Amino acid sequence: MPEKLKWKDIFKQILLQIFLLAVTATVMFPILWVFSIALDPRNIDKPLELELIPPGASFAAFHRVLFEPYKLLCKNPTDLSTCMTFPLLLKNSLYVSLGTALFTVILGASAAYAFSRFKFIGREAGMIGFVAMLMLPATGTIAPLYVLLSQIKLPGTGEALRTTLLGLMIAYTAGALPFSIWNLKGYFDTVPKELEEAALIDGATPTQTFLRIVLPLSLPALAVTVLLGFMSGWTEFVLAWLLLENPSRFTLPMALRSMQGQFSTPWSDFFALAIVMSIPPVLLFFALQRYIVSGLTVGGVKG
């Protein structure tokens, strides 16, 4: 009897491994192809056959992308020293993405807590208003947004909010909030109310119970919110192209997009930068992986 069971388990294990290795192959195929092109020395011409390590493979494209100025992103196209470099692009991108993540998690958690815990006038209308924004395409809203953000002048420099990274950060936050509020509310709903009631009896204020009890218990959902906020700031470029003016404020996805020429694209450089750009979000996903599974409730648990 135990002998038979064991054979069954081994058979099952083999089947599972075959299935999962096949899935791994499909997942890795495009990724490995990107690596092989990034290593290819031909840059503009693309290889005509499939090779994991192309002839004459080198890290030249990575070197160019990381250390040479971006000639398409310069204040003064004749002066290379006014061009953007990788460290500057990275700094802008990190600033925007981390700022978006921080704004999203703070504003999102605070609003989601109200929707989860308080009974108040306008609760349903408010929730529907936020979630409806998931369904409304923003295609036509860019023109009014442009005008509106141009109107708001920053105190001090008198610059329009539109042309600053702070403006971009706020715009991305608004984009990430509907899903975040929905997801966080779903998670807060699962935190037992009794814990807060006990704290309230002990004399804590509602703000204290929110900060000291609900938030620490909601770490997975907060991690998911941070992750999604970071991702939206890290990858967006359409809005960035339309709003920003000064090349010194450009971000990494804009640099990537600028490489795609009308007639030719330096593919090795493009894919090398794409790989470099994928590293931070992938690392963040790995770091937060154990939270993602439990933190994605998508509002499904209860009402």
Name which of 82 and 280 has its Cβ closer to another protein. Answer: 280
Q: How far is the CB of 94 from another protein (least distance, A)?
A: 14
Q: How far is the CB of 107 from another protein (least distance, A)?
A: 4
Q: How far is the CB of 77 from another protein (least distance, A)?
A: 25
Cβ(120)–Cβ(114) below 8 Å: yes
Name which of 119 and 157 has its Cβ closer to another protein. Answer: 119
Name which of 23 and 198 has its Cβ closer to another protein. Answer: 23
Name which of 14 and 80 has its Cβ closer to another protein. Answer: 14
Q: How far is the CB of 223 from another protein (least distance, A)?
A: 13
CB-based contacts of 240, cutoff 8 Å, min separation 6: 168, 250, 251, 253, 254
Q: How far is the CB of 78 from another protein (least distance, A)?
A: 30
Name which of 152 and 195 has its Cβ closer to another protein. Answer: 152
Task: Name the CA dihedral angle for 73, 74, 79, 81, rounded to a multiple of 10 degrees.
Answer: -90
- Rounded to whole angstroms, the Cα distance separating 105 from 99 reads 10
Amino acid at position 299, single letter: G
